[in-house]
A and B are shown apart, each in its own frame.
Chain A
Amino acid sequence: MTVVALDQINKSEIDLAGGKGANLGELIANGFPVPPGFVIGADEYASFITAFDIPSNDTMPEDPEEFLAGLRERILETPLCRELQEKITAAHEELKMARPSEFVYAIRSSATAEDLADASFAGQHDTYYYVAPIDLEVMTRKCWASLWSDAAFSYRQSQGIEHRSVNMAVVAQEMVRSDVSGVTFTADPVSGSESVIITEASWGMGAAIVDGRVSPDQYLVDKISNRLTSIKISDKKFMVPATLSEGQTSRLTEVPADIRNKEALTDDQVEKIAQLALKAEQHFGGAQDIEWAIHGGDLFFLQSRPITVIGEHESEVPPGRYILFKPLAENFTDPLLPLTLDMLDDYVPLTIIHGRAYIRFELIRGLIPLKISDEDVARLGYLSDPEETNLRLSIPRLLLLSTLLISNYLLMAVFNRRTAAMPDDFMASYRAFCNRIAEDDSVSAQDTLVSVFGKFRFFEPAGNMVLLVNLVAPRYMLFLKMLSGLIEKWCPALPPDTASLLCSGTEGVLSTEMGREILELAEIAREFDDVAQIIREVPLKQTLSTLRTIDAAGNFINHLDRFLAKHGHRALKEFELNSVRWEEDPTQVLGMVRNYLLVDSDLNNTEADIQAQRNELEHQVDQALLAMPLESLGRPRLGLIRFLVGQTRYYMKLRENSRFYHIMGFYAVRKKLLKIEQSLLEANILKCKDDIFYLQWHEVKGLQSGELGWQDVEDTIRSRRMEYIRLSKFMPPKTIGIDIEAAQYDAGSTSLSGQGASPGRYEGIAKVIMDPATDNEIEPGEILVAPYTDPAWTPLFLTANAAVIEVGSYLSHAGTIAREYGMPCVVDVTNCTSRITTGTRIIVDGTQGSVVIVEEKA
């Protein structure tokens, strides 16, 4: 029977100390800073478990859940033998002698099959913090029981590991009361690159990162030069504190507002961690995944294990060819959460890969009646231009497409006419429609989704059928095409983007109005110095409560309330059900107001300038047409041009506005889910806010009915949180199974190409913004560079002078808003957010669809 100090263990003693314990002992022996502790040997477990008569893999029950639950209960109820208890006490006393003050333990499971190169059980077996010495025995049994959790059992089954061959050692170490903690990978587990060291860090104890509760800062260090090459600061909302306050039941606490967006590590700390991590990699002879903690400026390594999965999980990708569903991806590139995916799955004919929506290539191939290569079909499916310019028709596919178009016409004919020439506010009734359904407790969350988007009465007003309105709106492309053709034919001297410019500046586009209303809020705030100062200087989380204490802010607050009553359903990543809406937390709105207050120039001039340009262009068209034969007799050509401009503007507005109302429908679903979440949190069935979004709908119903409890979903939530973080780390490929980029993309090139979404040319300094929740400051004259945009990004367009977007299309929010504001915009620029850094001077040509890097920032 064995209880051994960690510094007596080396890496060959896996059978005694388990993989984790052996690695820790090896680290101590080689001078790495590891907290002291001891190991309760795996032989102790082996001796303990013999009394439980575990069956072999072949004779395990077919449905093992009940067996596993019973086994865990027996382990927890059976006390350790006296001899072992005495050894544990002696080990603790020895450790205590060397410590100046009281301390608590971190108890880590260390199975004999884990932390080996070909099977990492990361996250499968439990770790416990804040363990008082008196609880060492209980926690030892808990660790042993974790060997028989459903997740660990399933993992061993999937890896073909004999259950009875795996024993569990327990590592008891002095718990480091972390100020900052994190994980470091000495190779990129997502891309497989071995030239970079990735460190993720956040405040407090490491449990918040490991459990996926917080999005940590990310630091990239070049392995050869050991230089810091990239920093991404996250909005770190939660932490597990180093010390629990009295009566605190939940370990997760909110991070103070002033440090949420502050760098958790200094550059020196990042480089020191990277150096030590590299040393560990060299010692162990392979890429390492290292958990570490910093307390009082001192760094400690808590775990080091080999990275077992490097690069894309091939098994995740189903066979076949797929194209990223751009209408969704251009709104946000992050993966969708499990609950959102599950709720949409039945109704949306898309394939989910890497958490994103893809459409089957064969579906697109069948709809395009052109004789072009598969690659060009994929480009068209991705809403990009084909490379082939000499397009020929395919008669069989044309017949098929014609049949579909005729069918679509018949289906939508009445609705098309119903939505022609409607007043701007005809969809305003949808708000009351959604509120009614949201407040009706007899309608479930899943049924809400169907009710707000599909299940209508026969005499339903068109304004309540916003999804159908959105389907009608793309006809603007036809009018725009006709207009472009006529302008090119009748006014050849005018710029090629004249048609687009004539159709911009439409009144009544709700997302554009939103940007203007935020500007108005900033101007109202400016009327009183106190108000403006509070918004500029007080942390955003406290801004509104501070404003409510001063009389001068009354007008501003009234306007803010009106703004939220109209736009409060909006959010960043608003298609995602877990996104917090502005009505729930107006912090982001106040952040946008602050951004305007920090800018000195008069933004009101921008729209006036754009309107003046448009007027001048209309005059030029008018003059060009007047020179044509018979034009002076009733102005037929001008009338046709105006008709087409009117129709294009009308349907473009319809598209944007129907989208505004879609989000209201999603918010109605979110409200239902929040009610369910609240009841589950109050009943202590769920433990943490937002956990519900990592479940599937049937699991939520199971929790509500009592069929499932917290213990049934805890591991599932944890693994899905970690999977989400992993998937969030890379941009989704545009296509799978078919390559459309190889000829176009060159990593070292100073010239980047994309799709021109708004005409014009502009040279200026780039500002890369990955997430406006953490960084929304952009100076006038700067060029916005972003992975995607949605309406919540609109105010940034009002300040920027041009935009470069990684995923987007002419029809996307970025393109639409850029045209409204008359600024050059290029979308669909592969890797622009990594290729262009903040401070780089670039030229954006929205007419040609190109971006040129003039001068990189030093």
Chain B
Amino acid sequence: MLELLLFLAGMQIIIMLLATGYRYIDLWYRIGEYWPGITARLITLIVLDAAVFYFLDSPYLNAFFWGQISYLIFHVAIFWVVRIGFWLLETARR
């Protein structure tokens, strides 16, 4: 049960990390105003992540790690799945 919760926690933190990283792009048009806040948040999340890695032991660390990795792979993969989906639709249309 604790491993499941850590798996989910790992996912949640990587989600927050990704979203924070994207903020540089999303707020690029006003980056002068927003970069300090984004950077502070990013550093906080990285420190939190690092702390978890430092203090946790296997198998709990594995659960946390796999939660992060699996969502990261999912996030990248889903983008390409959607692109391929559009390509298939366009090919069928043509």
Let me know if B78 is at the binding interface, CB within 8 A: yes
Q: Which residues of the partner chain A approach B20 to less than 8 Å between Cβ atoms?
A: 417
Q: How many Å lie between the Cα of A547 and that of B71 in the bound state?
A: 60
Interface residues of B in 58-94 (CB under 8 A from A): 71, 74-75, 78-79, 82-83, 86, 89-90, 92-93
Is the Cβ of A422 less than 8 Å from the Cβ of B93? no
| Among B25, B26, B79, B89, contact of A346 (Cβ-Cβ < 8 Å) | B89
Q: How many Å lie between the Cα of A853 and that of B18 in the bound state?
A: 56
| Among B26, B75, B83, contact of A462 (Cβ-Cβ < 8 Å) | B26
Q: Which residues of the partner chain A approach B90 to less than 8 Å between Cβ atoms?
A: 447, 450
Is the Cβ of A414 less than 8 Å from the Cβ of B26? no
Is the Cβ of B19 less than 8 Å from the Cβ of A414? yes
Is the Cβ of A418 less than 8 Å from the Cβ of B26? yes
Let me know if A231 is at the binding interface, CB within 8 A: no
Q: Which residues of the partner chain B approach A454 to less than 8 Å between Cβ atoms?
A: 82, 86
Is the Cβ of B25 less than 8 Å from the Cβ of A461? yes
Q: How many Å lie between the Cα of A461 and that of B93 in the bound state?
A: 28
Smallest CB gap from A698: residue in B: B93
Let me know if A640 is at the binding interface, CB within 8 A: no
Query: Whole-angstrom distance from the CB of A405 to the nearest CB of chain B?
Result: 15
Q: What are 7 sample pairs from A and B whose C-beta atoms fall under 8 A apart?
A: A346-B89, A414-B15, A423-B27, A426-B27, A429-B29, A462-B22, A463-B26
Q: Which residues of the partner chain A approach B23 to less than 8 Å between Cβ atoms?
A: 418
Let me know if A52 is at the binding interface, CB within 8 A: no
Q: Which residues of the partner chain B approach A461 to less than 8 Å between Cβ atoms?
A: 25-26, 28
Interface residues of B in 22-51 (CB under 8 A from A): 22-23, 25-30
Let me know if B16 is at the binding interface, CB within 8 A: yes
Instruction: Indicate the size class of the contact surface on chain B.
Output: 20 to 34
Let me know if A411 is at the binding interface, CB within 8 A: yes
Query: Whole-angstrom distance from the CB of B15 to the nearest CB of chain A?
Result: 5
Let me know if A619 is at the binding interface, CB within 8 A: no
Task: With A426-B27, A461-B26 as known contacts, state yes or no: A411 contacts B78, CB within 8 Å.
Answer: yes
Q: Which residues of the partner chain B approach A309 to less than 8 Å between Cβ atoms?
A: none
Q: How many Å lie between the Cα of A455 and that of B87 in the bound state?
A: 9
Q: Which residues of the partner chain A approach B74 to less than 8 Å between Cβ atoms?
A: 410
Given contacts A446-B93, A447-B90, 6 further A-B contacts (CB under 8 A): A346-B92, A414-B18, A417-B15, A417-B19, A418-B26, A422-B27
Is the Cβ of A423 less than 8 Å from the Cβ of B89? no
Q: How many Å lie between the Cα of A615 and that of B79 in the bound state?
A: 46
Query: Whole-angstrom distance from the CB of A378 to the nearest CB of chain B?
Result: 30
Smallest CB gap from B27: residue in A: A426
Is the Cβ of B86 less than 8 Å from the Cβ of A346? no
Is the Cβ of A347 less than 8 Å from the Cβ of B89? yes
* Contact mask for chain A residues 436-455; partner B; CB cutoff 8 A; 1 contact, 0 none: 00000000001100100011
6 closest A-B pairs by CB: A417-B19, A462-B26, A413-B15, A414-B18, A418-B19, A461-B26
Q: Which residues of the partner chain B approach A462 to less than 8 Å between Cβ atoms?
A: 22, 25-26
Q: Which residues of the partner chain A approach B15 to less than 8 Å between Cβ atoms?
A: 413-414, 417
Q: Which residues of the partner chain A approach B19 to less than 8 Å between Cβ atoms?
A: 414-415, 417-418
Q: Which residues of the partner chain A approach B30 to less than 8 Å between Cβ atoms?
A: 423
Task: With A346-B93, A417-B15 as known contacts, state yes or no: A458 contacts B26, CB within 8 Å.
Answer: no
Q: How many Å lie between the Cα of A462 and that of B29 in the bound state?
A: 12
Q: Which residues of the partner chain A approach B79 to less than 8 Å between Cβ atoms?
A: 458
Is the Cβ of A459 less than 8 Å from the Cβ of B29? no
Query: Whole-angstrom distance from the CB of A435 to the nearest CB of chain B?
Result: 16
Query: Whole-angstrom distance from the CB of B78 to the nearest CB of chain A?
Result: 6
Is the Cβ of B86 less than 8 Å from the Cβ of A450? yes
Q: How many Å lie between the Cα of A814 and that of B90 in the bound state?
A: 36
Q: How many Å lie between the Cα of A414 and that of B21 in the bound state?
A: 10
Q: How many Å lie between the Cα of A538 and that of B45 in the bound state?
A: 64
Q: How many Å lie between the Cα of A415 and that of B78 in the bound state?
A: 13
Query: Whole-angstrom distance from the CB of B77 to the nearest CB of chain A?
Result: 11
Interface residues of A in 412-435 (CB under 8 A from B): 413-415, 417-418, 422-423, 426, 428-429
Smallest CB gap from B93: residue in A: A346
Q: How many Å lie between the Cα of A422 and that of B82 in the bound state?
A: 25
Is the Cβ of B26 less than 8 Å from the Cβ of A422? yes
Q: Which residues of the partner chain B approach A450 to less than 8 Å between Cβ atoms?
A: 86, 90
Smallest CB gap from B23: residue in A: A418
From A414, A454, A461, A463, residue with most partner B Cβ within 10 Å: A414
Q: Which residues of the partner chain A approach B86 to less than 8 Å between Cβ atoms?
A: 450, 454-455
Q: How many Å lie between the Cα of A410 and that of B90 in the bound state?
A: 26
Is the Cβ of A418 less than 8 Å from the Cβ of B83? no
Smallest CB gap from A419: residue in B: B26
Query: Whole-angstrom distance from the CB of A342 to the nearest CB of chain B?
Result: 10
Q: How many Å lie between the Cα of A335 and that of B51 in the bound state?
A: 59
Is the Cβ of A414 less than 8 Å from the Cβ of B22? yes
Q: How many Å lie between the Cα of A672 and that of B1 in the bound state?
A: 56
Q: How many Å lie between the Cα of A415 and that of B27 in the bound state?
A: 14
| Among A417, A429, A459, contact of B16 (Cβ-Cβ < 8 Å) | A417
Query: Whole-angstrom distance from the CB of A716 to the nearest CB of chain B?
Result: 20
Query: Whole-angstrom distance from the CB of B91 to the nearest CB of chain A?
Result: 11
Q: How many Å lie between the Cα of A446 and that of B74 in the bound state?
A: 29
Q: Which residues of the partner chain B approach A459 to less than 8 Å between Cβ atoms?
A: 22, 25
Q: How many Å lie between the Cα of A460 and that of B71 in the bound state?
A: 19
Query: Whole-angstrom distance from the CB of B23 to the nearest CB of chain A?
Result: 7
Q: How many Å lie between the Cα of A454 and that of B28 in the bound state?
A: 21
Q: Which residues of the partner chain B approach A414 to less than 8 Å between Cβ atoms?
A: 15, 18-19, 22, 75
Smallest CB gap from A428: residue in B: B29
Q: Which residues of the partner chain A approach B92 to less than 8 Å between Cβ atoms?
A: 346
Q: Which residues of the partner chain A approach B71 to less than 8 Å between Cβ atoms?
A: 410
From B20, B26, B75, B93, residue with most partner A Cβ within 10 Å: B26
Q: Which residues of the partner chain B approach A418 to less than 8 Å between Cβ atoms?
A: 19, 22-23, 26
Query: Whole-angstrom distance from the CB of B83 to the nearest CB of chain A?
Result: 7
Q: How many Å lie between the Cα of A777 and that of B18 in the bound state?
A: 51
Query: Whole-angstrom distance from the CB of B82 to the nearest CB of chain A?
Result: 7
Interface residues of A in 441-488 (CB under 8 A from B): 446-447, 450, 454-455, 458-463
